[in-house]
Structure 1
Amino acid sequence: MIMQPQADDRTQTLLKVLVGSHAHGLASEESDRDYRRVYVIPTEKMFQLGYKYPATKWTKGDGDETAWEVGNFLLLGTQGHPLILETLLAPIITADAWGEQLRMLLPALWSPHKAFEAFTNYADNQRTKFLNKKDGRPAKYAAAYIRVLYNLCELLESGSFHIRIADTPAGERLFRIKNGQYRLGEVMDWGEELTAQAGRLIAVCRDESDLPRINHFLATIRRAFLPP
């Protein structure tokens, strides 16, 4: 008798991208490869007793991978989560037709004030790790602190941002910081300058999220993954 797979086993990857220093253009020989993935569960599973929405998944293998179910991914995206927005712009490892549509939702997903709050909160977390010399790698967190704020300014000004930050005007300076060639005051001053710049940009930013468009995409994919 052939057993049919349970709903837990039947997920489909929509999108997998390369992130981290290799995507940013700041990698060294020691840098690991990091990935993010978005997947969808069968819609029927959501109607089962005791259903709990999938939490964020972290796995280690040839590279570290963070994965979200598409519903949670979109919810976090509407909150301006920088890791989510970055996933929609990062170099593609694999993407099906749904994943390609997902990447096109970036303009509808974010709003200026939520993005400002989420990016600056993330940057503050990286700054704390930098100052506390977490893992003995303060340069890594110093670069992340600056990179996130630089990306925020790009987002508020243009509606998008560079993943390969090495190719931006900040690239050479960030590469130097990532390699430990910095002064504490230089990093802190630059971070404060970028935060102030973002504050000025948000005052004139007119982009807004489009929740009906997001909900339409989510309803469409849920119907598509519901067996007849």
Structure 2
Amino acid sequence: MKTILKTLVGSRAHGLHTEKSDYDYRGVFVVPTSEILSLGYKEKATSWLEGQGEDATAYELHHFLNLATHSNPSILEVLVSPVVEETIEGRALQELFPALWNSKDVLNAFGGYSANQRKKFLEDKDGRPWKFAAAYVRVLLLGIELLNTGKMNVNLNVQEAALGSAGINLGNFAGGLRDYIYSIKTGNGIKKGEVVDWAEYLSGQLKEAYERNPNKVTDVERVNDFLLKARKANW
């Protein structure tokens, strides 16, 4: 199999890291078409490595595109995160980003991911509620940005500037966006009710953004054309 794209994700991409933070990566690989068409082939949808301060998850191209066309936030984020390794095909995959997502799935997938993180936050899952609190609000910000601007910025300082330029009101919070979410992530001087109230406001902003842009659809023909070319090129 061949890696075509590898990007830095997690706290180091968001600007929320410390010196001790792990390096988290996600990538996309292509299994040779001849192997896929061979008898006895067992699908290799994902691969995962962990150890020595580094976590890496990668997805086979077909599986990745299937998730991306359903606007999976963790998958779409791969395409807009800092690049560690890429081929010409990987660069073309990044350029496919506008064709992949659709308005309805962004509303449902980003909202659903946020609800899942909210549940973990309020249940104090794994004794790390504030980690889930940060994810709870951050994914809502990504969805709001995507539906309003057609783009996503994973670095919170860059995202705050982009949302400000688009005239998006993020509500009232102390300090800059990155610093506030860092305070949430560490639980420093933040109450749970404060996080929930802000997230409820952001959820409303996500729904309003969808109502302004309800008809953006996935360009399935363009995505399939990309996949077919990749299969032919990686026989």
Using structure 2 for the length normalisation, give the TM-score: 0.88
Choose 173-182 or 152-161, whichever is displaced more: 173-182
Alignment equivalent of 1:111, drawn from 102, 107, 110: 102
Aligned to 2:187: 180
**1:160-184 CA deviation, whole Å, 9 max, x = no partner?**
1111014425222111111212111
Please give the alpha-carbon distance, in whole angstroms, between the structure 1 residues aligned to 2:112 and 2:181. Answer: 20
Aligned amino acid, residue 198 of structure 2: W
Indicate yes or no: 2:62 matched with 1:71: yes
Q: Return closer, same or farther for 1:176/1:166 CA change in 2, 3 Å cut-off.
A: farther
Aligned length: 216
Aligned identity (percent) is 44
Kindly state the Cα deviation for residue 129 of structure 1 after the two structures are TM-superposed.
1.3
Alignment equivalent of 1:39, drawn from 21, 29, 35: 29
SS in 1 for 2:27: strand
Point out where structure 2 has 5 or more consecutive residues left out of the alignment: 161-175
Segments of 4+ in structure 1 off by > 4 A? Answer: none
Please give the alpha-carbon distance, in whole angstroms, between the structure 1 residues aligned to 2:129 and 2:157. Answer: 19
Please give the alpha-carbon distance, in whole angstroms, between the structure 1 residues aligned to 2:111 and 2:19. Answer: 30
Please give the alpha-carbon distance, in whole angstroms, between the structure 2 residues aligned to 1:213 and 1:78. Answer: 11
Aligned to 1:17: 7
SS in 2 for 1:203: helix
Using structure 1 for the length normalisation, give the TM-score: 0.91
Please give the alpha-carbon distance, in whole angstroms, between the structure 2 residues aligned to 1:32 and 1:106. Answer: 27
Q: How does 1:145-164 map to 2 (within 5 A)?
A: 145-164=136-155
Cα RMSD over matched residues?
Answer: 1.2
Indicate yes or no: 2:44 matched with 1:54: yes
Choose 140-149 or 120-129, whichever is displaced more: 120-129
Indicate yes or no: 2:98 matched with 1:100: no
Point out where structure 1 has 5 or more consecutive residues left out of the alignment: 1-10
Residue pair 1:36, 1:87 contacting (<8 A) in 2 also: yes
Residue pair 1:159, 1:207 contacting (<8 A) in 2 also: no
Please give the alpha-carbon distance, in whole angstroms, between the structure 2 residues aligned to 1:190 and 1:85. Answer: 24
SS in 2 for 1:18: strand
Alignment equivalent of 2:197, drawn from 189, 200, 212: 189
Aligned amino acid, residue 46 of structure 1: I
SS in 2 for 1:66: strand
Aligned to 2:113: 122
Kindly state the Cα deviation for residue 99 of structure 1 after the two structures are TM-superposed.
0.4
**1:33-75 CA deviation, whole Å, 9 max, x = no partner?**
1000100010011112232322322210341111100111001
**1:164-211 CA deviation, whole Å, 9 max, x = no partner?**
014425222111111212111111011111111111110111432111
Please give the alpha-carbon distance, in whole angstroms, between the structure 1 residues aligned to 2:20 and 2:121. Answer: 19
Aligned to 1:220: 229
Aligned to 1:7: none
Please give the alpha-carbon distance, in whole angstroms, between the structure 1 residues aligned to 2:118 and 2:18. Answer: 21
Kindly state the Cα deviation for residue 102 of structure 1 after the two structures are TM-superposed.
0.4
Aligned amino acid, residue 178 of structure 1: K
Alignment equivalent of 1:198, drawn from 199, 206, 211: 206
Please give the alpha-carbon distance, in whole angstroms, between the structure 2 residues aligned to 1:127 and 1:166. Answer: 23
Indicate yes or no: 2:34 matched with 1:27: no
